[in-house]
Amino acid sequence: MAPSGKHKWLCYLLTMSLLFGSCHVYQKIPVPLEEVAVSNQRLKITTVDNKKRFFKRIEKTDSTYYGLEESGLNIIKKEIKKEEIQQIQIINKPKSRLLTIAGVTVTIGLLVALITSSGWSTGAGPVGGF
C-alpha cells in the first residue's frame, strides 16, 4: 500500500522536528584555544584547509590540547595542533535553544493543523477517523 500525500507530510514534519531538535548554532566571534579549554563548551574548529571539526569540549593535558568527540556512546580524544586551526567558535546556547524550540513548535503546529484540517478525516467514527 503506497502512502498517501498526507502521510508523507506527517513523516516530513516529524523528521523536520527531529532535525531542528538537534541543531547547534555557533557564535560568530572566534575564541582563543586557551579560553575554550577552560570554558567546557561545545565548539566548532575550522582548520586552515577549510575542514570543520566539531567537539564536545577541549581538554589540556600538559601542553597538548585534545578535542573530545562523541562517537555513539564512546568519547574519542583527538589531538589538536594550534598551527592547523584557522578559527574556533563556541556554541551559542540561547540561539540554539531558540532554534530548537521554534523549530519543534512550528513543526507541531503544522502537524496539528494538518490533522485537524477538514480533508484529513476518513469518516471512520465520531473522532475524525484515525
CATH number at residue 58: 2.30.30
pLDDT digits (tens, 9 = 90+) for 79-102: 999 999 999 998 888 887 787 777
- Rounded to whole angstroms, the Cα distance separating 46 from 110 reads 36
The overall pTM is greater than 0.85? no
Whether 66 has a pLDDT exceeding 90, the answer reads: yes
State the average pLDDT over residues 33-41.
88
Give per-residue pLDDT as tens, 12-34: 767 766 666 667 788 888 889 88
Owner of C-alpha cell 574519542: 76
7 is a domain residue: yes
Residue 16 domain-assigned (yes or no)? yes
**Residues 83, 24, 105, CA angle at the centre, nearest 5°?**
170
Q: Does a structural domain hold residue 125?
A: no
52 has pLDDT over 70: yes
- The number of folded domains in the chain is 2
Going by the DSSP 8-state scheme, the letter that residue 67 receives in this structure is E
Question: Which pLDDT score, from 0 to 100, does residue 21 have?
Answer: 63
**pLDDT (tens digit, 9 = 90+) per residue, 107-125?**
777 777 777 775 555 555 5
pLDDT over 80 at 130, yes or no: no
